[in-house]
């Protein structure tokens, strides 16, 4: 694992952007996987003017590693948020965006393998140590993409009551991420400092699912000084 500590979120985002752009410059189909959330927003703001309508990036395929489809819809919040913060501003068409759904999740890893694998994936570190939708104490550490069923009958979204219910969570599992050619984690903010310290220093366990990623053979972690503030 390679650890890079940058001065601030801007510098952290620039470092991640250079890794992504370096992979995207290859003269072949390139598959990259991106994360939603707060941490990558500066990264996407920097990338949009560089990739928007660029002929040299026309073969880039984008993969999202998790989603929780709304009742009656194919996609959920991850699909919608990524369109808002990156795909729509960058004019990325839907036919170049791939995501696990209730129809394809069982074949998702094989489809990626047949497409040449993920060249680079950017993920964040969750406040409780989760990654993708792999949550503490309920992540099968030996799993590829899997479906976690909640209450299929519930009609109210317990986290966001104004949104439709989301009875399933679909996510690439730990073994899926081990296949990624270059795995990049970004971590920023003082609120992540404690869990970041635990992630780095504690042994692999289902209590902090992200610890399993330290086994990845090509793993780069980029953080800002706030996130690294509790490290010795």
For the annotated catalytic residues, the residue numbers are 66, 128, 130
Rounded to 5 degrees, φ, ψ at 185 are -110, 135
Going by C-alpha positions, the residue among 99, 23, 92, 40 that lies closest to residue 68 is: 99
Q: What do you get for the CA distance between the two ends of the chain, in Å? A: 17
Q: Which residue has the tokens 């030996």?
A: 142
Going by C-alpha positions, the residue among 146, 150, 180 that lies closest to residue 166 is: 150
DSSP helix/strand/coil, 55:
helix
Q: What is the DSSP letter of 22?
A: H
Question: Would you state the structure tokens that stand for residue 124, as one six-digit string?
Answer: 């964040």
> Do the bridges between strand 30-34 and strand 60-64 make them parallel or antiparallel, or are there none, so unpaired?
parallel
Phi/psi region, residue 45 (left: phi>0; alpha: psi -120 to 50; beta: rest), is: alpha
DSSP helix/strand/coil, 63:
strand
Bridge-partner residues for 6, per DSSP? 224
**CA 3 to CA 222: how far, in whole Å?**
6
């Amino acid at each position: 694992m390679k650890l890079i500590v940058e001065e601030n979120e801007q510098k952290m985002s620039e470092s991640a952007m250079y890794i992504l752009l370096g992979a995207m410059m290859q003269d072949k189909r390139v598959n990259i996987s991106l994360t939603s959330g707060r941490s990558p927003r500066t990264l996407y703001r920097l990338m949009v003017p560089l990739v928007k309508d660029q002929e040299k990036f026309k073969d880039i395929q984008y993969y999202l590693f998790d989603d929780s489809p709304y009742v009656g819809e194919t996609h959920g919040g991850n699909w919608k948020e990524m369109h808002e913060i990156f795909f729509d501003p960058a004019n990325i068409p839907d036919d170049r965006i791939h995501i696990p759904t209730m129809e394809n999740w069982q074949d998702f890893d094989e489809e990626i393998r047949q497409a040449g694998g993920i060249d680079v994936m950017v993920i964040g570190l969750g406040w409780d140590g989760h990654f993708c939708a792999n949550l503490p104490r309920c992540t099968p550490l030996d799993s590829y993409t899997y479906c976690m069923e909640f209450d299929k009958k519930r009609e109210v979204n317990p986290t966001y009551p104004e949104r439709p219910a989301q009875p399933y969570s679909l996510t690439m599992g730990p073994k899926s991420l081990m296949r990624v050619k270059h795995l990049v984690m970004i971590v920023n903010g003082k609120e992540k400092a404690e869990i970041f310290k635990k992630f780095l220093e504690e042994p692999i366990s289902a209590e902090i699912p992200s610890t399993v990623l330290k086994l990845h053979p090509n793993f780069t972690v980029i953080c800002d000084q706030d996130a690294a503030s509790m490290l010795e």
